Structure 1
Amino acid sequence: MTTAFYWFRNDLRLEDNPSFLQACKSVDHLLPVYIHQPNLGQDTAWGFPRIGEHRKVFLDQSLRELRSQLRDLGSDLFEMTGNVLYVFEKLKAQIDTDIIYCEQIQAPEELEQLALLRSASFQINPLWQSSMLDALSLPFSLQEMPDIFTQFRQQVEKQKLRFAIPVDAPKSIPSLPVIETTSIKGLGGNTMSGGSKFRGGERSAQTHIQQYFERRLTDTYKQTRNELIGMDYSSKFSPWLAQGCCSAGFIAKQLADYEICYGANDGTYWLWFELLWRDYFRFLHFKYGKRLYNSKGLSKAPSNQFDGEKFSKWSSGNTGESLIDAGMRELKKTGYLSNRMRQIVASYWIYDMKGDWQGGAAWFEYQLIDYDVYSNQGNWLYIAGKGTDPRGGRSFNVAKQTQDHDPDGIYRQMWLT
C-alpha cells in the first residue's frame, strides 16, 4: 500500500491539474496539504511583507473552496503553517511516507524548497503544468528558446501550437491516511472580504470565465484592454490564474470553443496572445533562472539606488503627478491595477523618480491580488531594460498617457477624491 502527500502550491484546483491527477492514479492513500509560509508575512529588507491583505483573503477563499471540493470526493485539505521542510518532517513522523507529489514552480525560492526536501531524502515528484503550451511540444529546447518575444511567438505560431489539452478532474481521490487531525488541521483565518471584486476559488473562476465568454466580451478585448475603469475592459482572469484556481489551458480551450462557435477575430487572437506572453515569462525562467533576480538582471548596467523617501511618496500615491497617484491609490485600495497603469507607474518609478526596479517589484508582490512570480519579475525587467528586450527598457511619457487614457479625468477623480 503506497501513501503520499499532495502538496498544493499555485494549483488550487481539481480541473486540469495533471500533477494531482497523477498522484491520484499512483497511490493508495493521499494526504492533500497546503503550507502557509510565515516568512511571506514578515517584513522584508524593503520594510513591508511579501503578501498583503487582498491576496490573503483571496487565498483563504480559494483554500476553503478547494477543501469543500476535496470533501465532496471523500478527501480533505490539511493546512499547516511553517517552514516547508519542518512541516513535511512533522507529517512524515505521523504517516511514515517520504513521497511528495506537487506542481513544479521554476523560480529560485520554490526550486530551493524542493532541493531542501530532496536533501532530507524526500522523494519529490514535481510536474510542470502552469503554462498554456506544453513545454515538450515547443519547437526548441527551453534552454535555447528565442530571447525576443516576437521570435518566440512566430515559432510557436509556425508550428500551429495553441494549448495543451486540459485533463479532467479526478473522479475519485485515494483515501486519507490515518493521522492525528486535531494537531495539524487548520482552517485559515482571513475571512474579511476586503471589498474586492474578486472571490477566490475554482468555482468562482469558472463562473467568471463562463460569463466573460457568454457576454462575448472577447470580441472587444483588443479595443478595450488598455482602459482603466470597470470589470469588463479586460478579462480579469489573472487573480484566478495566479493562485491556480484555473489553468491557462482551460481558458485557452474555452477560447478555442468560442472561436468554433462565433469565429475568430482580433479580440480572440489578442486574448491568446496575452496568454502566450504569460507563457514566455514562465519559460524564460528555465533559460536564465536566478539571473532574472539579480539587480542588474540580464544587463550590464547597474540599477538605480533605492531612496526610501521617494519610495514612500510613490507607493502611497503622493508624488504630485495625478495619474501616478491615482494608480498607486487604486492598487493599495483594491489590490488590482490595469496592465496599462502597471506599466505607467513602473516606468514613472524607474525613469522619472530614478527608483530601484526591485523595490517596485517587491511593492507589487506585496499589494497585488494577482501576484505571479513569473509575470511580475518579467514585466518589471521589461520596463527597466534588465530583461531580454533589445530596446533597453520602456519609458512612458506621463502627459501623453494621461491624454490617451484619462483625457476627461474620470479615473483620477475616482481615486484622488
Structure 2
Amino acid sequence: MNVDLQNPDTQGTIIYWFRNDLRIEDNQALIDACQNAEKILFVYCHSPSTLHASRWQLPHPGLHRQRFLATALADLRQQLVTRGNQLLEVCACAAEFLPLLARESGSSVIYCEDIAAPYEQDEVLALSAAGLTVHTRWQSTLIDPVDLPFMPDALPDVFTQFRTIIERESVQAPVPLTGPQSLPPLPDNYSQIASKWAIDTHSADAQLSTDISDAQMDQRSSFPYFLPEFSGGSTAACAHVERYLNRKLPHTYKQTRNQLSGLDYSTKFSPWLASGAISARQIFNALKKFEEEHGANEGSYWIWFELLWRDYFRFLHLKYGRRLYFAKGLTDLPIPTHDAGKFTDWCLARTGEAFIDAGMAELAATGYLSNRMRQVLASYLIHELGCNWRAGAAWFEAQLIDYDVYSNQGNWLYIAGRGTDPRNGRRFNIQKQANDHDSDGSYRRLWGKPGSAAND
C-alpha cells in the first residue's frame, strides 16, 4: 500500500512505527517522517498476534528469535538516544494501540514501511479506518518497484525470466540513503506516555536472558546470536558485512553455500535483513565496492543472485497478494492433506529419519538452519509425510531467527508446487541429499540423539 507523499502533513507530532525496518540508515520512511515532523514519537509494538502460526495453535516466537530481536531493539534504542530521541516499546497489537497513542500524543499521522502481506496490510487498513493518516513506504527490496521494466502485475511467473530481464535491462539498485544525524524532539508529554504504556526493557531483557539458559546458547550453532558479533541491530550487521568482505568470502560463496554447518559457508546476512537492521541496498553497495577492489567472480555474483531471489518473493506479493496464503496457493490443486501426528513428530525431531531429525533438532536448539536443510525438511514434510505445507510454514515462522514473511511463504509454495514455479514442486530424495551433503555423517552425528542410528 503506497501512499502519495506529495502533500504530507508538516505540522505537530508524527508517530513513526517501526516494523521490519529496525535501522536509521537507508530508511526512506523514517527520513520522510523526520523531514515533515515538528516532533516525533518512535514506537515498536511487541504483538504475538502477528504470528500466522497461531492458526495452527503453535507457540509464539521462540526464545532464540525473541533474544535476537531484543538485542536489535537495544541497538536501535541507543542510536535514537544518540540522535536526540527515544524508542517507545509496548506490548500491544499495533492496530489497537496506535490510535490510542495518537490521541494521547495529539497526533493523527503515522509513517511506516509498507509490508505487502495480508496481516500487515490489515494492520494499516485498521489504522486508516480509525481515522489516522498512514503514510507507507516500500523499502525492503534491493530494486525499487518503480524501476522495474514492467508493472508489478506483469511480473514474470518464472524467476529466471525475471532475472534475465533485470540483467538485460541493466536495472540498478539505488544507492543507500544516509540517515539523519539528529532527530526532531519528543512530544512534550512523552514522560506521561512512557510511564503509562512503555515496557521495562531492562527487566524484559534480563528475564529473557534468564530464560535462555547456557544450555540453549548452543556452541554448535551456525548463527550464534548470543555472541556480540552476531547480536541483532545495525551495528553488528554492518560490522559483520565488513568482516565478511574483508575476509574475501564472497569469492568462495557459491562453492560453500550448500554446506550444512559452520560460520562461513554462507553470508549469514539473513537474520539482520529479516529484522531490517540492515538493508539489501546497504549490503549490495558494499559488495560492489568489494568487487571494484578485489574483482568479481561467480561467487560474488551469486550473492547478487540470492538478493534478487529475495526481491522476487517480495514482488510476487505485489502481484498476487493474499492468494499466496490460500491453501491451494496459486493452483487448482486439491486442498492439501494433513496428518497432525506426523506433523508433531516432524516438529519434535522424532520422525525416525536421521537426516531429517538432525535438521529439526538444529532448528529447535539454535533457531537457524542452512538453506539446503530448509528445503530438504520442507520437502520431507510435504511429500513424504503428507502434511499441509502451511503448517510447516507456520512452524518455521515460529522458530527461525531470520523469519521473513515473504521468503518463508515463497519458499514453502515453491517446494509444495503451489506457487509460480513450472516444475510443480520439489521433491527431494532424502538419501541422495544426505549422501551429497553429509556423506561422512558429520551433520547427523552433530545433531543426532545419543544412541540413534545417526551416531552409530
**TM range, smaller chain:** over 0.9
SS of corresponding position for 1:102: strand
1:151 to 136, 156, 161: 161
Look up the equivalent residue of 1:374 and give its one-letter code.
Y
Residue aligning to 2:146: 136
- Of residues 325-334 and 48-57 in structure 1, the stretch that sits farther from structure 2 once superposed is 48-57
Residue aligning to 1:401: 433
Match status 1:197 vs 2:224: yes
SS of corresponding position for 2:261: coil
Question: What is the deviation of 1:50?
Answer: 4.1
Look up the equivalent residue of 1:183 and give its one-letter code.
K
* Maintained 8 Å contact 1:42/1:50: no
Residue aligning to 2:385: 353
CA distance in 2, matches of 1:135, 1:26: 24
SS of corresponding position for 1:4: strand
Look up the equivalent residue of 1:219 and give its one-letter code.
H
Please show how residues 8-47 of structure 1 align to structure 2 within 5 Å. Answer: 8-40=18-50, 44-47=54-57
Question: What is the deviation of 1:365?
Answer: 0.3
- Deviation readout 1:104-151 (Å, 9 max, x if unpaired): 001011000101111111000100000011111110010111111001
CA distance in 2, matches of 1:239, 1:383: 22
Question: What is the deviation of 1:313?
Answer: 1.1
Indicate the RMSD between aligned Cα atoms, in angstroms: 1.4
Question: What is the deviation of 1:248?
Answer: 0.4
CA distance in 2, matches of 1:241, 1:108: 20
- Deviation readout 1:153-172 (Å, 9 max, x if unpaired): 01100111242210001121
Look up the equivalent residue of 2:379 and give its one-letter code.
S
Match status 1:92 vs 2:102: yes
1:114 to 111, 115, 124: 124
1:170 to 180, 189, 198: 180
Total equivalences in the alignment: 417
CA distance in 1, matches of 2:335, 2:282: 39
Give the TM-score of the pair, scaled to structure 2: 0.89
SS of corresponding position for 2:327: coil
* Maintained 8 Å contact 2:438/2:444: yes
CA distance in 2, matches of 1:146, 1:74: 45
- Deviation readout 1:249-271 (Å, 9 max, x if unpaired): 10000011011001110011000
SS of corresponding position for 1:44: helix
Match status 1:322 vs 2:322: no
Question: What is the deviation of 1:43?
Answer: 7.4
Question: What is the deviation of 1:89?
Answer: 2.1
Match status 1:415 vs 2:442: no
Question: What is the deviation of 1:286?
Answer: 0.6
* Maintained 8 Å contact 1:40/1:49: no
CA distance in 1, matches of 2:366, 2:170: 38
Residue aligning to 2:318: 286
CA distance in 1, matches of 2:50, 2:406: 17
CA distance in 2, matches of 1:43, 1:127: 26
- Of residues 82-91 and 331-340 in structure 1, the stretch that sits farther from structure 2 once superposed is 82-91
* Maintained 8 Å contact 1:50/1:365: no
1:241 to 273, 280, 287: 273
- Residues 302 and 310 of structure 1, relative CA distance in 2, 3 Å threshold: same
* Maintained 8 Å contact 1:132/1:249: yes
CA distance in 1, matches of 2:316, 2:381: 25
Residue aligning to 2:454: none
CA distance in 1, matches of 2:251, 2:269: 16
- Of residues 149-158 and 302-311 in structure 1, the stretch that sits farther from structure 2 once superposed is 302-311
CA distance in 1, matches of 2:371, 2:51: 26
CA distance in 2, matches of 1:155, 1:390: 18
- Residues 162 and 403 of structure 1, relative CA distance in 2, 3 Å threshold: farther
Please show how residues 379-390 of structure 1 align to structure 2 within 5 Å. Answer: 379-390=411-422
Residue aligning to 2:196: 183
CA distance in 1, matches of 2:78, 2:303: 31
Residue aligning to 2:423: 391
Residue aligning to 1:312: 344
CA distance in 1, matches of 2:443, 2:397: 23
Question: What is the deviation of 1:29?
Answer: 0.3
Match status 1:364 vs 2:396: yes
CA distance in 1, matches of 2:253, 2:169: 25
Residue aligning to 1:222: 254
Residue aligning to 2:239: 207
Question: What is the deviation of 1:42?
Answer: 10
Look up the equivalent residue of 1:85 and give its one-letter code.
A
CA distance in 2, matches of 1:10, 1:89: 20
* Maintained 8 Å contact 2:39/2:185: yes
Question: What is the deviation of 1:40?
Answer: 4.5
Runs (4+) off by over 4 Å: 40-43
CA distance in 2, matches of 1:66, 1:54: 19
Match status 1:49 vs 2:59: yes
Residue aligning to 2:282: 250
* Maintained 8 Å contact 1:67/1:77: yes
* Maintained 8 Å contact 2:417/2:423: yes
Residue aligning to 1:268: 300
CA distance in 2, matches of 1:42, 1:384: 18
CA distance in 1, matches of 2:300, 2:51: 39
- Residues 340 and 42 of structure 1, relative CA distance in 2, 3 Å threshold: closer
- Residues 223 and 43 of structure 1, relative CA distance in 2, 3 Å threshold: closer
- Of residues 375-384 and 92-101 in structure 1, the stretch that sits farther from structure 2 once superposed is 92-101
Please show how residues 54-93 of structure 1 align to structure 2 within 5 Å. Answer: 54-93=64-103
CA distance in 1, matches of 2:344, 2:250: 38
